[in-house]
Chains A and B, each alone.
Chain A
């Protein structure tokens, strides 16, 4: 069964450092998403991406966040200057087309900012 692959599975970084979280969506999917889940809290929407541009972003997704699809297969989330409160599980997801289909989530990257 096709999978969404995320790397690394766990990343520890110092406050103020830049991190890049990587995702390989399912190959025929067109819509890509990042969500995050702070420990013990709800899964929260960060950003959706379609046709090489952001289609929607939440208020969490401020100027320190950016997304990119650099080479047609990878989908990355960059956090420019990490803060302690960025510590969370970050999930990438993809869907085949718009709203008729459920998402497939990746297994997540646990980001720990120290």
Chain B
């Protein structure tokens, strides 16, 4: 069974802290790993990673994939209260069509 596990499930930090969110996976037919931010409703796309060791960066967010150890991390530096959200990791697998297998999410709370 395809599985994506995120840790921690919940994290509370102070504004300005740096956080690291973890995602490990065991899937067949891996295609890519995606990170999403979910605030109220729709997950919004952050990163798609397909190659090991290549960091993707967008402002204060960055992410990297390790296909040998089957995990990814999402880093957020200098956190702000607007970063408070649930962060979802999903693995795209190909079985005919592409589908996403999601982790349970990490609820990040940034306190002022």
Q: Which residues of A contact B (CB under 8 A)?
A: 4, 31, 33, 35, 41-45, 48, 50, 55-56, 58, 89, 91, 95, 98-99, 101-108
As a 0/1 sequence over residues 40 to 64 of chain B, the CB contacts with chain A under 8 angstroms (1 = contact) are 0111110010000000000000000
Q: Which of B96, B100, B104, B105 has the most CB of A within 10 A?
A: B100
Q: Say whether B101 contacts A45, CB under 8 Å.
A: yes
**Interface class of chain A by DSSP:** strand
Q: Say whether B43 contacts A105, CB under 8 Å.
A: yes
A52 to chain B, nearest CB (A): 13
List 21 A-B residue pairs with CB atoms under 8 Å apart, sorted by A's residue number. A4-B42, A31-B97, A35-B100, A42-B102, A42-B103, A42-B105, A43-B100, A45-B101, A48-B97, A48-B98, A56-B99, A91-B42, A99-B32, A101-B48, A102-B45, A103-B34, A103-B100, A105-B36, A105-B42, A107-B41, A108-B42
A88 to chain B, nearest CB (A): 13
A4 to chain B, nearest CB (A): 8
Q: Which residues of B contact A50 (CB under 8 A)?
A: 97
Q: Say whether B42 contacts A107, CB under 8 Å.
A: yes
* A109 nearest in chain B by CB position: B41
* Number of A-B contacts defined by CB within 8 Å: 58
Q: Say whether A106 contacts B42, CB under 8 Å.
A: yes
Cβ of B108 under 8 Å from chain A: no
Given A43-B88, A43-B90, A44-B102, CB of A56 within 8 Å of CB of B41: no
Assembled-state Cα–Cα distance A98/B95 (Å)? 11
Q: Which residues of A contact B92 (CB under 8 A)?
A: 99
Q: Nearest 5 pairs between A and B by C-beta?
A: A55-B97, A48-B97, A43-B102, A99-B98, A105-B42
Q: A45 touches which one: B31, B41, B42, B99 (CB < 8 A)?
A: B99
Q: Say whether A48 contacts B48, CB under 8 Å.
A: no
Cβ of B94 under 8 Å from chain A: yes
